[in-house]
Structures are given as C-alpha cells and as structure tokens.
Amino acid sequence: MTKKATPNRFMRFIRALGWRLAMILVVFLAGYMTWVDLSIRAKFDGHRWAMPARIYARPLELHTGKPITADEFAQELDLAGYHKETRLNRPGSYRRDGQRFSVVKRSFAFWNGLDPMRRIEFAFDNGHVKSLRDHRGNKITFARIEPALIGHIYPNHQEDRIPVTVSDVPPRLIEALIAVEDRYFYRHFGISLRAVARALYENLRSGGVTQGGSTLTQQLVKNYFLGPERSFSRKFHEMAFALLLEARYEKEEILGAYLNEIYLGQQGGHAIHGFGSAAYFYFNRPLTELRLSEIALLVALARGASYYNPRKHPKRTLDRRNLVIDVMLEWGYISEREATVARSEPLAVTQDPPLGSTPFPAFVELVRRQIARDYHQRDLRTEGLNIFTTLDMRIQRKMEHAIASRLPLLEQRAGIPSEQLQVASVVSDIQSGKILALVGGRKPRAVGFNRAVDAVRPIGSLIKPAVYLTALKQPRKYTLATTLHDKPIRLRRPKGNIWTPKNYDGKIHGQVPLITALAKSYNLATVRLGMALGVPKVLRTIQRLGVKRRLPPYPSTLLGAAALSPLEVSQMYQTIANGGLRIPPRTVLAITNAQGIPLSRYKASVIPAFDPGSVFLLNHALQNVMDSGTGRSLYNRFDRAFRFAGKTGTSNGLRDSWFAGFSQDRLAVVWLGRDNNKPTRITGAGGALMVWGDLMQSITPQARTKPAPSSIEWRWTDLRQGKQTDRGCPGAKRTPYLAGSAPPYSPCQ
C-alpha cells in the first residue's frame, strides 16, 4: 500500500503544481494584457487625434501697379514652395518667360474664404505688376499666392510632423503601402502567421533577430509604443500590442495612425514622422501634389528610412523605389505605361531639406507668446488652428543674408574671435505695426536664446530722441533752433558719488543748436537738456512711445544706461516713424479653426500718443542725423533722395552697437554685441548701421515723402544764431517749426 500511495501522491502533487502554475500564468497574462490594454488606450486615445496649430507666413497679394519686380515674384513663388516646371499639370507649379509668368495656383482656405485652384498669367514691367489674367485671357483685379507653412504649435517633443487623415492621402499611396508592406492588412487580426513563421525560421537559422515579419499594425506599435531595438521579448510585446490594438480599433483608425507615426527620416535632432511631413522634407510639396514616382519613393522609405536615405544612398533608394512601382504594377494598381514613366523619372528630392520644425524659430516663438494671451495651450495643440502671420519671408531671408555676410567682416576688423559677435534684428511695417522679419541670433535656424525678444541691453544714444521729443512738445521753450549748452556737468548719484558724463569725442562744443546736438549725439548737451526737462518727464515720454518696462529714474538713463530689448526699441521707434501714432507690434493677421472658419482677426489698435507736429520736428532732426550726423556714412552707398531717418547707439565700453532707422515704409532695428558682455570695440555707426544698410540695399525701400502736418511752418534760419534770417544768407537752412514758435528775425550778419 505504501509503495502504491507514493506515486499517487507524486501525481497529485504534479497536477496541483500544474494547476497552480497555470493559475499564476493566467493571472500574469490577464494582468499583462490589462496593462497592454491600458497602455494602448491611454496613449492612442489621448494622442492620435492631436492636430497642431499650423503657422503660416503672410500671403503675397498682387494687383495691377503693385511695386514688385519679376525676380522678386519668382523668389516669392520659390519661398511658397512653388516649382518651376515646363509642363503646368499640377498645382504649385509655374513657368517663366522673362517678365511673364504662368502660375497654377493652389486651392487654399484663407480667413475670408476659399481661393480655388486656378491658372493665372502675371506680367511685370519696370518693377511693377503690369497685368493679371486668367487662363482665358480675362483681366483679374486681384490675386493672392497662398502663404508658406512655417511652423506648428505641437506637444513638446523633438519630432517633426504634419498630421494627415486617410481621406487626405492620395489613394495610390495607400495602395502602394498595402501592396509592399502588408498585402493582407484588411484580412489579418494584427499579426500575419505566415510572416511570423517565415521570420522565426530565418531568425533561428541566423541565431539572432534579423527579420521581423511585421504587419502595418506591428510597425505602428514599434513606432508608437515600443522602440527600434530587436529582441525576442520586444517581438512578444509587439504582437500582444498589435492583437489588442486590432481588437479595439477599426482598420481605418489604425491606418490613419500609421500614416502619421511611421518614421521616415532624420534631420539633426528632429525625427521626421508621417507621410505629411516627409512630403515636405523630401520634395517641399504637400502630399496631395506628389507624382506616382514620388509616392513610390516615400513608400520605399517605410522599409528603412536610414538605409534608403535618398540624399545619402541615391542608387540604393532608386532600386527600392522602382521595386515599389513594380509591385504596384503586379497588383494592377497602375498601368504598364504609368509604371514605365514613373521608373524613368529621377528621385527629384530637394538638395537641402527644410530646416527643423520651423526655419524661423525666433519669429515663431514670438507668435506663440502673442497668441498664448488669447488661447489656451490645449486648444493650440489639439484644435488644428490655422494661424496667419505677418512674416515676409523675402525680407526675412534678406536680413539673414545681410547678417551672414557682414558679421565676419566686423569681427575681423574689430579683432573679435570668429563666431563671437551676436546679433538681433526686427523689421516692421511702419503704418500697420506688422513685424515682417525677426532674427534672434547670428544662426537664425538655431532654436535657443531669442535675443530680439529677450536680450535686454543698454541702448546708448537710441534713447536720446525721447529726450528731444519731450522738449519739442514745448514749442514756447524749445525748437530745433534753440541753443543748448554742451559743456561739462557734475551730478551726484543716489549713493553719493559724482557722475561726470563726457562726449564720445572727448571735446566740449559750447553753444550748439538743438538739431545739431541730436545729429552729432552730444552727451553733455543732452544731459543738460534732460535735467532741465526733468528725468520723470522724459520717462513718461518713453512710456507713451510704447515702452512698458520701468526704467531707472536716474540722470544716466538720459544717455541710454537703461536697458531694452530690440523688440522694445522697435516699438519705441515705430511710434516715432508713424508720426506719433502708437501701434503695438503684431505678428498675427488672423486665426481660423480646422474647418477654415475665422475665429479672430487681429486688427491694429492705433493710439494717438503725440501731436504729429512735434514728432515731425523730431523726424526732421533724425533725418539730419543721417545727412550730417553720426549716420552720414550711409549715404556713401545711397542716394540722399531716400531721406532716411534714424539714430545710432553705443553703450559704455563699446559693448553694444545699435541702430534704429526707417524709410517711408520700413523700420528696422539692429543690435550687435557679445553674449559674455565683453567689449566689441564697434560703435553704432561702425557696426549696426552697416548691417542696416546692407538690408535696405536689398529690399528696395521707399523714399520718405511724408508731407508736413498743417501745424508746421517753414522758415529760413541761421542755426548758429538761433534766429530767422533771409534765404540767401550764409549758413541759412530751411527749418520747420510748429506754427507761431519760430525765433525772431535777424538780418544777415
């Protein structure tokens, strides 16, 4: 009995152990599958429909007579992603014949309605639009080229994507994808047993994981939930995720996620995910405009974007692309003729891919800040807003080129180590306050410290116009001919020490007319004037010019010891250039939702901050800065008919070089300096003014021709005496005054 009982007890033990192990396995699998399910639902539901806000540059609006050359128009088309082609058979293409263009315009939903796709004939003559006609030859009064996409507001990650839906994607792309990557996609339940068996055999034979046998669903899991490493455990996770993903979601949902998540390239630290982004990355075109050969290339990349990188391995990529075309032909998706044509076409990828998530990071960052005041971050990330901005890409590129070509020369001349001199610049439209271009550093594509917005530096003599405007608002006491005393002054600081400012040239100039003191940037005359006016009164003028930052109420502020950012300086000079009308700088024109319905129009708010007469006098003095003062070197390369107005600025120790100046239509502010605050040994006239001049030479500014306000009267004046005189007298200058404020008459001496 004892001998028989022993085997029975052993078997019962084995069965009990088996049941326990089975129960443990069931509990483990149940827990594991629950974890997989929760992981899928948390990430897939929470993220797959996120549609980022899209940020666009300004559209190009054209009408008969608009000042723009044929070359500039060609530049605009290139920047908007148009392609020069012989045959105009798809949107986004153009043909040029000298001064004439044939353009197949894309359909685009603007804030005021849909502009349909159509062909337009443009003619140019003498730097202006001569005519606009449709394809039938009928005259058109107005045409608009859709803006370029310049960025997104998307959840924080280092990925670059343009989300698409299945309905957005050309049917041939889906056909090619299914035929090449997963021909049984619509039949399997997440994994293909035949593919798994084949891959398992190859892996066992090689002694490692060399083949995946993955379906599209498994590829999505790998990109979305897991990682690129190859191991048996990861393969097990991949299959479990794929099974539950298929059980919970429809095929179209899975396919849509795959189209947006598949890894298709790399640029520096940015991963290119999804076919929408890849179309721009490789062809600089929307997905809907791609040819069959281009679609086949993108599908070829799904097998391995690094291995089949068309820019590094063109022969290998061409073979893979042609294989995709052959498979499409085999499955009957395309005809023999279509396959032959597609195989004969070159890869045609752009030589240089678009840079990063945005080519203009400093400008896009400012856009984000400004709209964050009006929209919740969640809406900006998920609602698919369309943000139309003021960025003029042509001016932006011109500014970048001016910086890139000028800074090395300045470094060499000043003995600054290469790449040490930094820069920031803001260009705006005077009448509207639109920011047309913004550069935050000498490497404008680099994401990082935005010096145009956040570099708060001593502005030097750029502050002086506020001192003189404060005086000119009091015409009974001060005119452009008023005599100021440029002589030493000693002022006690709050801590008890004595401040003794000096002129930049180290000289004392005695009695000088007010207009000359500003033109020559005399420090002693300016400090004496500011102290007579009162520092608090000057600070109030600065605030009314649009500067919100609180500046220290000390005499040294009168010479620019106070610090501002280039954007704040731009606001200050915007009010001056616009005749006393203050318009806050703006980067946004309009916002629409994902359906193209307008949500907001950002109209300029115009605030009359100063009497136009006193500002006209100041602008006349700033024009004199350029004619005979610290900015006079500019006219070595410009005709004096431009009548530019502006002011140079240099901080103590030659650490900061500034210039703020304007034409009839454009205001530009330029700052140069070093991030470590070491001296640059460059003055405002010797540095920032040079960059400013390079920019203005390239953008064809308009000459200043603003008429004087009705409150202005002109008198011939002997500025040395500060008296009216006769026209023919030596040294007589035609000088503007507010009505009734001209000095007494004195005959020729």
**Candidates 214, 277, 461, 651; catalytic one:** 461
Q: Match 């964050």 to its residue by tokens.
A: 372
Query: Is the separation of the CB atoms in 545 and 466 below 8 Å?
Result: yes
Gyration radius of the chain's alpha carbons: 34
**Candidates 181, 238, 261, 568; catalytic one:** 181
Structure tokens that stand for 309 in this block: 């990188």
Query: Is the separation of the CB atoms in 445 and 359 below 8 Å?
Result: yes
Q: Given CA atoms 367, 370, 373, 374 in this order, what sign does their dihedral have? A: negative
Beta-bridged to residue 114, according to DSSP, are 109
Interacting residues of 351 by C-beta distance below 8 A, sequence separation 6+: none
Interacting residues of 398 by C-beta distance below 8 A, sequence separation 6+: 437, 695, 698, 699
Coil, strand or helix: which one is 745? strand
> How far apart are the C-alpha atoms of 257 and 50, rounded to whole Å?
11
Strand ranges (E), 520-664: 563-564, 581-582, 588-592, 598-601, 607-608, 645-650, 656-662
Amino acid letter, residue 477? K
Active site (annotated) includes residue 461: yes
Q: Which residue from 571, 153, 160, 567 is spatially nearest to 364, judged by alpha carbons?
A: 153
> How far apart are the C-alpha atoms of 668 and 380, rounded to whole Å?
30
> How far apart are the C-alpha atoms of 37 and 125, rounded to whole Å?
66
The dihedral over CA atoms of 324, 325, 327, 331, expressed in degrees to the nearest 10, equals 140
Question: DSSP secondary structure string, 142-207?
Answer: EEEEPPPEEEEE-SSSSEE-----GGGS-HHHHHHHHHHH-TTTTTSSSS-HHHHHHHHHHHHHHT
> How far apart are the C-alpha atoms of 391 and 403, rounded to whole Å?
18
Sort strands 60-63 and 142-145 into parallel, antiparallel or unpaired: antiparallel
> How far apart are the C-alpha atoms of 47 and 149, rounded to whole Å?
22
Q: Which residue from 604, 590, 112 is spatially nearest to 374, judged by alpha carbons?
A: 590
> How far apart are the C-alpha atoms of 272 and 158, rounded to whole Å?
9
Q: How far apart are the first and last CA of the chain?
A: 147
Determine which helix (DSSP H) or strand (DSSP E) holds 365, and give its type and residue range: helix 361-372
Catalytic residues: 181, 461
